[in-house]
Structure 1
């Protein structure tokens, strides 16, 4: 009997459920994996030999493909992972052979503001602690591969400074790359939120020595925002991963030509770090259904998608496969729609939009709720007017999914404080917009509480759809950005800084421009680029201040507003509640 989530924290519920876990070999067998296709990591976690699965089942028809996205969230999060797990459990209760793919939690949010990404209540994946901390080492491998590229670059810059051409050739067999120290685009990576590392100076020489590195400005990004993570998410298999790693542009030379990881001869070693990370991970829900975990979060500053490898494998093994995209539909789903599906060739059958009464009240005018602080009273008392006012945000997200040609299903992720009249107000708004809507109580009741949602999703999957990209690939980058800004965000247009204009012009002149995708970087807290603007803002223009290029991932990355690729740790971090019971060795306080 599962613990009551109204009385026990998530980590307690997870620890209790872990006493009844299936061995991972049983989960794999029930999913349809053969013995040689599972690489166990202990008794309750494993990796999938995806290449073997695709060779065996490549001709089998795919199952139904469902993406889970959300409305614009509050800083507390609105439960996409919880809904993904709950929907999976509900599908199983209805007799469907189902699976889910979610993203591995980053150490930044786990130790910072949001906690783990394992779901919550009775809709969690387990084992919680290893999943939340270290897991099978994928994020560490991404971090190591990324930093190896920077190690190679900075060492090369030092040696090219210290030696003439003949000596450089004699000592190392290297040709001079003429790297421009003012045009180094890559930085370093780590898996924590550390604002102190956003801008740094490296290579400071001591005692007049010239062997302490090349002194220059640099920076750290969180590991999930690394191009290596985007490559892991978008690669179709290990050969594709290896090919993409060699195309990462780390800097420009003095003639303005790109310097790549292949030029540094480090791409092969980077791939060596990622051989095991390229294999999707397998765990289970607290009700025993299979959950694939692969690639990282942060749909606001990164791709934020579960991997193509995981989805392709699961679609061959399942009748219904549920995948997850980061943050709201204008961020995560837009990238799923126009980047991930374009590269994978997969087409979704339905999209779930997670909405909460709490977030709708916020968009209706209630004060912003903050992690670790008591909820303002507007969230604990009934206020139908706030909910109705906030539905303008939900309606915009319904429109985004509809614009892609896919039927949306609104999931009202139920909280104990929601009232019947508040829920009825959300239903009315959805039904007036012609969208399917389901109340789901998976947090409090597990799969049994997600039956209405599972039925609505299957109903949507049976409906023919006309899924198509937002823009043609040959469209110029500036016009693609304008299409996203106007048709997805609701902006009146786009303003580019001179820096962004120059970089877009350079990228537009590339012969492979039509093959490159667009990965927008924007705040997750508003449909606009201003996090303080709630609801569905009108009368504004998107400000693109910079553009990055991920040559290996094949992405042009416009940066809108003041967002940073290295989040910060706030004054009430989650790590203050995490500890270890030294008698049992169990980690406590994860949520």
Structure 2
């Protein structure tokens, strides 16, 4: 079997101006980054057009080590929609270098359903992550400088500062550290650390900003900590937001690339789906909807994480209304939820599959809570048997849900024609009346309660004393009207990664609530959430190399 990189090299890359032409973008308006990548100016966002065109969300069941393939399915569905005559653009997140060199590998799809050039996209791309990193670290430097500077100090209490530095690499040794050592000229010692760039609030802000004015306002609203007099300090108090926005001058513009079949792809931003909204930028989505009839996009992890935040945060903030949801499942992943070990997933096991279908059922139920009926896509693997696929099909039919098998890894767009036709039929039936789960103005605890009980299936929510103190602080700062972006494990519908399938009668424990006032949401933390991943015993970087002629090898 060929690797994704080997397959990607078989596809002829069109000049980026030709891809832009398919979207009616003037070649002179594109800002090229080489021959096959370009930035799209914000002037191409057209409210009249994006309001009436069709937004399709691709989500999935709870992630497993067996893989689900949301990105691969999103790209394959886009190819298929174009094949049946629907002008479609896929809009995705940018990969993070840490996972690329760590445990995940690339994030540009797979097989014959990829976005290109995959090597560039997976590595430095157009420098967006670097700009976000620099903007984040400028604020960190300004905070420590103000603490150090006695003549121009805001009186920041360094014990209350939560802002960390970031870098786009998995490096567990940077999670916790003390800065400011070396004497009085080297700063004031305090505890801090590094997060990975994708976890920066700047990333979340960039992906929710509507324009430069909104970007600067959000950057200024970043909550830093308190003064010794217990007064709140924001980035605007340090006069940081203008310079931070200047560093994001190019990063705010979405990136245009192409699929293997020469269709437009827009890739922009990459916030985490557990501590942030887990989807590409509002600007990228609106650009795609302004330039094509259909936009296919995806949200990170399972529906309970990325998609819930896509709906309740991104769609509400950006005034977007999705027309359909594709829920991706695999036979292998469902058997894993049924209790089968990874090593045995290729063996037919209808009993385990039957048990694992409870996870699929819960995600279907959750989508219905937003007044949307999904189309289920079975991402086909060679080990799937007819009996297993038939069992999933019959369960979906019993639930009144359309289901299609899609083999996009092996066949690209041809492998998703039936799925594309079902999506179009869903859109044209116009039965979707998207409704968010909650009103932002509700009390914070009530918003958490709605998500935890209705989406996760919890019976109760427990708050630690620290979380209760956080609630009081949020009330004092006047931030109770922000939506909640609950951070929890992606491996389970509960906050316990060991509870597979559809757990019931569990208690969700909120141990603290962080403030992301710049992004415009609150982050209730459940369980242990990793913001600076470590490398596995054998990182993916061990297989990555470059030849004497500059050809990159080993990416997957």
TM-score, length of structure 1 as denominator length? 0.92
2:16 alignment counterpart: 24
**Correspondence for 2:34:** 42
Q: Which runs of 5+ in 2 are unaligned?
A: none
Shift of 1:298: 2.5
1:573 alignment partner, one of 526, 539, 545: 539
Provide the rounded CA distance (Å) in 2 between the counterparts of 1:487 and 1:573. 38
SS in 1 for 2:506: coil
Contact residue 179 and residue 189 of structure 2 kept, 8 A: yes
Deviation, structure 1 residue 318: 0.9
Structure 1 residue 518: Cα displacement = 1.2
Q: Indicate the SS of the match to 2:159.
A: strand
User: SS at the partner of 2:355?
Assistant: helix
Per the alignment, in what secondary structure is the counterpart of residue 566 of structure 1? coil
Matches within 5 A, 1:43-192: 43-50=35-42, 52-54=43-45, 57-60=46-49, 61-160=51-150, 168=151, 174=152, 176-192=153-169
* Alpha-carbon distance, 1:396 to partner: 0.6
Task: Give the whole-Å Cα distance in 1 for the aligned partners of 2:550 and 2:127.
Answer: 20
When structure 1 is superposed on structure 2, of 405-414 and 331-340 the one drifting more is 405-414
Name the residue aligned to 2:553: 588
Task: Report deviation, 1:266.
Answer: 1.6
Alignment partners' CA distance in 2, 1:297 and 1:104: 9
Of 29-38 and 111-120, deviating more is 29-38
Give the alignment of 1:446-465 within 5 angstroms: 446-463=412-429, 464-465=431-432
Shift of 1:444: 0.5
Partner residue of 2:247 out of 268, 273, 286: 273
Contact 2:66–2:332 (CA under 8 A) maintained in structure 1: no
Residue 269 (structure 2) aligns with? 295
Q: Distance in 2 between matches of 1:572 and 1:412?
A: 31
What secondary structure, in the 3-state scheme, does the structure 1 residue paired with 2:236 have?
coil
Report how far residue 434 of structure 1 moved: 1.2
**Which whole-Å CA distance do the structure 1 matches of 2:539 and 2:459 have between them?**
37
Q: 1:297: Cα distance to partner?
A: 4.3
In the TM superposition, residue 558 of structure 1 has moved relative to its aligned partner by 0.7
Q: Aligned-pair RMSD on alpha carbons?
A: 1.2
For 1:250-261, list aligned pairs within 5 A: 250-261=224-235
Q: Does the 8 Å contact 2:60/2:302 carry over to 1?
A: yes
Question: Quick check: 1:147–1:189 contact (8 Å CA) kept in 2?
Answer: yes
Which whole-Å deviations, capped at 9, do the CAs of 1:465-519 have from their partners, x for residues lacking one? 22111112221111101110000001111111111111112213443532x1211
Find the aligned partners of 1:136 and 1:88 in 2 and give their Cα distance: 23
Deviations 1:416-441 (Å, cap 9, x if unpaired)?
11111111111111111111111101
Q: 2:339 matched to 1:362?
A: no
Corresponding position of 1:316: 290
Give 1:243's match in structure 2, choosing from 193, 217, 235.
Answer: 217
CA distance in 2 between partners of 1:254 and 1:38 (Å) = 49
Deviations 1:312-336 (A, max 9, x none): 1111111111111111000000001
Q: What is the distance in 1 between the residues matched to 2:347 and 2:161?
A: 53
Deviation beyond 3 Å, 4+ runs, structure 1 = 509-512
Cα contact 2:201–2:519 (8 A) shared by 1 = yes
Provide the secondary structure at the position in 1 that maps to 2:215: helix
Question: Could you tell me how far 1:264 is from its partner in structure 2?
Answer: 1.1
1:409 matched to 2:375? The reply is yes
Structure 2 distance, partners of 1:102, 1:188, is: 26
Aligned to 1:480: 447
Aligned positions, number: 554
Residue of structure 2 aligned with 1:469, choices 433, 436, 452: 436
**In structure 1, the residue corresponding to 2:107 is in which secondary structure?**
coil
